[in-house]
Structure 1
Amino acid sequence: MTDIVAVIHELVLLLLIALTVILITRRLAVPYTLGLVIVGLLISLFGFLPEIHLSPDLVLFVFLPALLFEGAWSISVQRLRQNWLIILLLAVPGLLVALVLLAVPLHFFAGLNWEDAFLLGAILSPTDPVAVLGLFRQLKVNQDLSTIIEGESLFNDGVAGVLYQTFLIVVLASLGQEPQGGQVWLEGIERFIVEAGGGLVIGAACGFVVSRFVKYIDEPLIETTITIVTAYGVYLLADFFHMSGILAVIVAGLIFGSYGQNRNMSERTREVVDNFWNMVAFLANALLFLLVGAQLNPMQFLSTQDTLHLMITAGLAIAAVLVGRFVMVALLPNRFQFAPGERLRPWRFVIFWSGLRGALSLALVLALPLEVPDRNALIFSTYAVVLFTLLIQGFSLRLLLKGLPGVS
């Protein structure tokens, strides 16, 4: 039986650590996610917290809906419409190009089979805009550029989430039997179409119904509770029908956060709900990074017989993520309707260097079933990529933004 007192004790301790981190990072004028990843690494190396095990269900059903709904709720739909072309190109064809460029070297040089290579590619596809957008606000970066980064992250979360579920099905289908080759992949593609379509329909239907319902209520506490029920209820409903809960939450959050919020909520209610979900997003990010840090000790991975394989896989993953990101941004057309030509070059570089990985990638990799053969390699590689992008790209981004013309 779970020791409730111990759980509460650990939760309070983690929240105190998170609070300390955010206070220090604000004084240092750096995004709090950068501080969290450093503290998480220290926790894992020195064992400051007792051993904690994050179950896949805890990650999937507690952290994911909160992170996804807050991102969809808070984004400006009007600015999404203005920048829809570049967001679409980055989130769909661009993501697929980067996925292939990641999977190929992992298969040929790290020894991963195709199923695991594409699964890791899907895990590393979602970008995390939290650190980037906080820095953008501090430096007053152009709002359209901020919307591109945030919108791309939101929609590639959905696409990557469905790809993750699809490749995971392919991986699990190949276990304990002779590989069925093309048949397994065809079934995976069919499942991708069904899950994506079903998730879109469920999310749209629920988002519209709830948006109409709150029109008849003007009580901030009740409407805040409705948003919680929507975020988790839509995810559970889609999961019950074996559809994409990730896409369902994103679509429901977009509809509720634009149509429902703007037309059917009072200004007082919107302020209360915004503050609530900002807090939830912070807590989810903070707890996820710290819990991962408490559970994942890199030295434990590096003290096994697979050390060389883990290091090669992680190094290739970091290099492939950068190459894939560079290629997907380089393939963008030279002009867009939202941006004058003279802004394209610095904007293109900022979009490339802002492709940080974070909470969602960690959540997806930790949700992998224990029977996945290369699970340790996938977890270690994901954590290595998150560390690299947050520490190297995240810390250098401020200096790069200050030196680039045309981004403000």
Structure 2
Amino acid sequence: MLDIAAICLVVTALLAYVNHRVLRWPATIGVMAIALLISLTIVGLHALGVDHGLKAYESSLLQSLDFSEVLMQGMLSFLLFAGALHVDLGTLKRYRGQIALLAVVATCASTVLVGFAMWVLLPMLGLPVPLMDCLLFGALISPTDPISVMGILKSIGAPKSLELVIAGESLFNDGVGVVLFTLLLGVAASGTIPTVGEAGWLLAQEAGGGLLFGAVLGWATYALLKSIDQYQVEVLLTLAAVMGGYALATHLHVSGPLAMVVAGLIVGNSGRARAMSDTTRRYTDMFWELLDEILNAVLFVLIGMEVVVIDWSPSLVAAIVTAIGVTLVARLLTVGLPVGALSGLFRLPAGSWRVLTWGGLRGGISVALAFSLARGDGRDTVLGLTYGVVVFSVLVQGLTVGRVARTVCEGRA
């Protein structure tokens, strides 16, 4: 495991260096693009019979590294906590209704729309997939990842309200998506469809329990931080809260992702304002920002490399193109349309629906959930669809969303 971690870190550092010197794209997009290009080159050389075992080596490396386990049980807790740490809770409360609609209602609606649409369309492409697998695809592809989008919005001076809604939606819809995926996975395993009451109870236990546990964890961490003034210990306490809290949430069968978001909001607001000295605040911010950047870079390099384990075929490529269209339409119908039609309710600048629609990037959590599915034909198709949609959203949407956002800013000016 140490060798694998060393290889991943060295490759990520080298690709980050190349991106900074040559491409100068947003870090996560750049390292993923380079990793994908290298992997595609290796696949091409393998097809020509001149790769000298590079494809076999990369495949064995990735197979020895359980992507789903690494992200879901390793990186995700840190990424969500770090993301929530700098969200202004006071402003978030003013938009809590809008964020709840987007994170809960829109995610559930997108899951259903994408699932049923793919169930109808895939047989036409020669890839029939059971309805449950299609719904699982809908659940795992609906959560969004704002990593690159947030940096772009900040650089062009986008309205703070738009930044907040995008960040808040993404932080919470990750947890909602995982809960929906887990619920559907349980239905698929048992073969029985739960009643509305049973489904509601499971949802309340996972999501509600995660929110409650996160609040307890956050306030407990805040109390400990307030009782001392030594930045080394305080940074260590935040790290322990994330690692220990996520592990405990898993054992309690409540949503770890939602717990990390709530704990991060409490520590990042009450903790940073009333329980930390200026020195502690500075070191805590530096630690979590650096950790966030490193983990995101490693994650997107791994996503770029995963192309070698996909079983490509003409039918799968056609299905990916279809899935890209379906997910974009679903995003438009469940997020863009309500934001545009209910502008008075959402209180966002005119044209924000375009940024929210096109800026709904998919990331590592979608790929990790796809890898967690049981092996089989349905899993291989879902994995390929997920990978294709994620790559398109990061490389195409991620590199062009700045232009869309600028039209909103210019219209506001």
Q: Same fold per TM (> 0.5)?
A: yes
- Residue 406 of structure 1 aligns to a residue in which SS? helix
User: Structure 1 residue 402: deviation in Å?
Assistant: 3.1
Matched residues in 2 for 1:17 and 1:171: separation? 42
Alignment match, 1:177: none
Is the 2:82–2:292 Cα contact (8 Å) retained in structure 1?
yes
| Percent identity (aligned) | 31
Alignment match, 2:51: none
Alignment match, 2:160: 143
Is the 1:358–1:386 Cα contact (8 Å) retained in structure 2?
yes
Q: How high is the TM-score relative to the length of structure 1? A: 0.87
Amino acid aligned to 2:402 = R
Amino acid aligned to 1:228 = L
**Partner of residue 400 from structure 2, selected from 376, 396, 400:** 396
Amino acid aligned to 2:39 = S
Alignment match, 1:117: 134
Is the 1:171–1:372 Cα contact (8 Å) retained in structure 2?
no
Deviations 1:229-268 (A, max 9, x none): 1111111101112221111111211222222222111122
User: Structure 1 residue 147: deviation in Å?
Assistant: 0.9
Q: Judging changes above 3 Å, is the alpha-carbon distance between structure 1 residues 348 and 293 closer, same or farther for their aligned structure 2 residues?
A: closer
Amino acid aligned to 2:301 = L
* 1:130 and 2:140 aligned: no
Q: Judging changes above 3 Å, is the alpha-carbon distance between structure 1 residues 338 and 377 closer, same or farther for their aligned structure 2 residues?
A: closer
Matched residues in 1 for 2:130 and 2:198: separation? 18
User: Structure 1 residue 21: deviation in Å?
Assistant: 4.5
Is the 1:347–1:407 Cα contact (8 Å) retained in structure 2?
no
Alignment match, 1:92: 104
User: Structure 1 residue 151: deviation in Å?
Assistant: 1.0
- Residue 379 of structure 1 aligns to a residue in which SS? helix
**Partner of residue 365 from structure 1, selected from 360, 363, 370:** 370
Matched residues in 2 for 1:291 and 1:335: separation? 39
Amino acid aligned to 1:271 = R
Is the 2:143–2:174 Cα contact (8 Å) retained in structure 1?
yes
Deviations 1:110-152 (A, max 9, x none): 1322221121111111111111111112111111111111111
Alignment match, 1:273: 284
Aligned CA-pair RMSD: 2.4
Q: Judging changes above 3 Å, is the alpha-carbon distance between structure 1 residues 190 and 21 closer, same or farther for their aligned structure 2 residues?
A: farther
Q: Higher helix share goes to which structure? A: 2
Is the 1:162–1:247 Cα contact (8 Å) retained in structure 2?
no
User: Structure 1 residue 185: deviation in Å?
Assistant: 8.0
Matched residues in 2 for 1:83 and 1:258: separation? 16
1:56-95 equivalences in 2 (<5 Å): 56-95=68-107
Is the 1:119–1:168 Cα contact (8 Å) retained in structure 2?
yes
* 1:330 and 2:314 aligned: no
Q: Judging changes above 3 Å, is the alpha-carbon distance between structure 1 residues 373 and 23 closer, same or farther for their aligned structure 2 residues?
A: same
Q: Judging changes above 3 Å, is the alpha-carbon distance between structure 1 residues 296 and 85 closer, same or farther for their aligned structure 2 residues?
A: same
Alignment match, 1:14: 11
Q: How high is the TM-score relative to the length of structure 2? A: 0.86
Alignment match, 1:310: 316
Matched residues in 2 for 1:189 and 1:117: separation? 21
Which deviates further from its counterpart, 354-363 or 149-158? Answer: 354-363
Alignment match, 2:45: none
Instruction: Identify unmatched segments of 5+ residues in structure 1.
Output: 175-179
Which deviates further from its counterpart, 218-227 or 77-86? Answer: 77-86
Alignment match, 1:41: 36
Matched residues in 1 for 2:73 and 2:37: separation? 27
* 1:227 and 2:223 aligned: no
Q: Judging changes above 3 Å, is the alpha-carbon distance between structure 1 residues 41 and 318 closer, same or farther for their aligned structure 2 residues?
A: same
Q: Judging changes above 3 Å, is the alpha-carbon distance between structure 1 residues 164 and 338 closer, same or farther for their aligned structure 2 residues?
A: closer
Matched residues in 2 for 1:164 and 1:98: separation? 13
Q: Judging changes above 3 Å, is the alpha-carbon distance between structure 1 residues 350 and 261 closer, same or farther for their aligned structure 2 residues?
A: same
Aligned length: 388
Q: Judging changes above 3 Å, is the alpha-carbon distance between structure 1 residues 71 and 370 closer, same or farther for their aligned structure 2 residues?
A: same
User: Structure 1 residue 211: deviation in Å?
Assistant: 0.8
**Partner of residue 152 from structure 1, selected from 166, 169, 185:** 169
User: Structure 1 residue 295: deviation in Å?
Assistant: 3.5
Is the 2:29–2:395 Cα contact (8 Å) retained in structure 1?
yes
Amino acid aligned to 1:393 = Q
User: Structure 1 residue 86: deviation in Å?
Assistant: 2.2
Is the 1:63–1:363 Cα contact (8 Å) retained in structure 2?
no
- Residue 142 of structure 2 aligns to a residue in which SS? coil
Matched residues in 1 for 2:194 and 2:346: separation? 43
- Residue 253 of structure 2 aligns to a residue in which SS? coil
User: Structure 1 residue 364: deviation in Å?
Assistant: 2.5
Is the 1:86–1:336 Cα contact (8 Å) retained in structure 2?
no
Matched residues in 2 for 1:278 and 1:336: separation? 35
- Residue 126 of structure 1 aligns to a residue in which SS? coil
